[in-house]
Amino acid sequence: MEDSRLRLNQIVLWLTSPYSVANVQKFFGIRKLKPNEVEKDEDAKETTDDGQFNQSKGKDTTEDHPWRSRLKPAAESHQFHVDYAIDNWFWYALFKFGALLGDDVFYYTFIPFWFFNVNVIVIRKVALIWATVMYVGQTSKEILKWPRPQSPPVVPLEPRYFKEYGMPSTHAMVGVLIPFSILFLTMDKVEYSIPIGFLVAMAWTTLVCLSRLYKGMHYILDVVVGVVLTFALLGMVFPFLDKIDHYLMTDKQAPLLLASAITFLSLTYPSQRGWSSTREDTIVILSVTGSIYTSLWLNNYFQWFPDRYNDDLPSTITWPTLAQWGAMFCREFLGVAITLLVHCIIKPIMLEILSFVYSIEINSETKKYLSVEFPYKYVTYTVVVLVCMLVSPFVFSLVGL
């Protein structure tokens, strides 16, 4: 009994140790530089006042530099600068791609691509699961207040994430929910190799999870809890998913219910410090998912684009021809371009409206007020998604796509 308890303590210590994360980074080719190595290089480079590389000397000034970086202290997490070098470019590129699979850029390209080119019923259900899982993950961070790995010994490659807590890893949660949701939603309806589909989903999840350790953003336990929690949530959501989806697509009160639920969940978000970047991201995720269902509800009610937004799921997977690939990427390009254009237009309009309503100057600080942040994010992303979903198909028809 005593041996089992000791063994359990050792496992917990390993899962929560920053040295475990540092060892993963070392294994994949991130090398912390010794003081003498840094001093030798000081004469060969110039830095700006904030310690970043001087762009005029041909060096990158971004916070995630692929060769060497000097990081400033982060007050919330007690992080200090670590000089490092990348010894293996293959792992750097692979895990940078893996990290992108859980970032905003991925959401705003992957989801429209599925709507415009693949299948509506699958991706809208994935979006519903995405909102559910992310809300649980983001609120858990604020409740648990688990810090990011200590640096040193860890080399943090994405210091912008130190604005938020680390437990559980929401990147890991997204890395599970997207591939496995697609697998579970299609495996009994579309003819393809289930083992291959499972291996692809596993590879996707593994890549995203390892990228969070490689980037030094999470303890191993953060990632493990994120994976386990997501599978548990999938098990709880899937038995009710079809009924919820059907209700949101057909009931006359569904748009009002969605708006009310989003408002309630956003206003009661358990932010422990008055404001957090997780609250901002959560409002955006809820707004995007709600407006996806609202736009599809409108289309279903008025039958504007019955051929483009139908619920037919093909029984087999047909590989597109070269011409079809071209049309798919043209639809993606046009759809994303329309989305970005509307986003650029509606943002300043909303800020001006809020400034007029509250009689205050809208700046980086006042944007953090919940009374400003919620309507700003909710209205902006609702309009953006509605235009993307309802105007883009009309444009596609005009240009023959």
| Separation CA 329–CA 401 (nearest Å) | 10
Give Cα separations from 92 to 26, 38, 201, 215, 217 (angstroms).
12, 21, 21, 9, 15
Among the listed residues 81, 171, 246, 343, the single catalytic one is: 171
Strands 84-86 and 30-32: antiparallel
Give the per-residue pLDDT at 35: 61
Interatomic CA distance for residues 86 and 100, integer angstroms: 19
Q: How far apart are CA 152 and CA 202, in angstroms?
A: 31
Question: Is 171 marked active-site?
Answer: yes
Taking residue 75's Cβ as centre, other Cβ atoms within 10 Å add up to 8
Q: To which residue do tokens 């496992």 refer?
A: 11
pLDDT at residue 153, rounded to an integer = 84
Containing 351, the helix (H) or strand (E) segment is helix 322-358
Catalytic residue among 65, 78, 218, 246: 218
53 φ, ψ (degrees, to nearest 5)? -70, 140
pLDDT tens string 310-359: 666 777 777 888 888 999 899 999 988 999 999 999 999 998 998 888 88
For the chain, the structural domain boundaries read: 22-87, 97-150+159-398
For the chain of 401 residues, list the mean pLDDT of each consecutive stretch of 10. Answer: 77 86 89 63 42 35 37 44 82 91 85 87 92 92 86 81 83 93 89 90 94 90 93 93 91 92 90 74 92 90 74 75 89 90 91 88 83 90 90 86 78
65 is catalytic: no
- Using DSSP, state whether 144 is helix, strand or coil: helix
- Per-residue pLDDT at 381: 92
pLDDT in tens, 40-81: 554 444 443 333 333 333 333 334 433 333 333 333 445 556
Residues 190, 316: contact at Cβ < 8 Å? yes
Report the pLDDT value the prediction gives residue 18, as an integer from 0 to 100. Answer: 87
Q: What is the DSSP string of 266-284?
A: HHT---TTS--HHHHHHHH
